[in-house]
Amino acid sequence: MEKATFGAGCFWGVEAVFRRQNGVKNTAVGYMGGKTANPTYEDVCSDETGHAEVVQVEFNPAEISYEHLLEIFWQNHDPTQLNRQGPDTGTQYRSVIFYDTETQKKAAEASKTALNNSGKYKKPVATEISPAKTFYKAEDYHQQYLEKRGLASCHLPS
């Protein structure tokens, strides 16, 4: 098993997308990339801790590749928005890939470059690529939040 950690806005919807993938064995929502130890949701929402809302994905690389997880990540948010996704604003909603290995770092950088060069977006991709830090698991009520409520996503209708 390997782990991958992604931030792409509100972690509820990001978790739901990854949980549906074959080869993903477990997910947990939480916080990473900040300066405060053991932050709470309220701490992170203050936009003062520096943490991003993230999903940590445990996956079997024999069933789903890290590169495929990156494709899912890019397809399910707007990576050109800085510190926001939809109506959610603040550094906690930033687009970020936290890598655990040099192999993950290289794959993330290559996929970001390819997306920037694809012409898909008029603006450059703002996604941060950073080494993984301590993962702080979010409170229990945030785990599988949408699934517990019978919802498929938290995206607003267009």
Is-catalytic flag, 45?
Answer: no
The CATH architecture of the domain made up of 2-148 is 2-Layer Sandwich (3.30)
**How high does pLDDT run on average in the chain?**
92
pLDDT recorded at residue 156 = 44
Instruction: Please pick, among 4, 8, 10, 72, the residue that the annotation labels catalytic.
Output: 10
**In this structure, is the dihedral angle defined by the CA atoms of residues 74, 76, 32 and 34, taken in order, positive or negative?**
positive
Q: Kindly report the pTM of this predicted structure.
A: 0.92
Average of per-residue pLDDT across 54-66: 98
Q: What is the pLDDT of residues 5-47, one digit of tens each?
A: 999 998 888 999 999 999 999 999 999 999 999 999 999 999 9
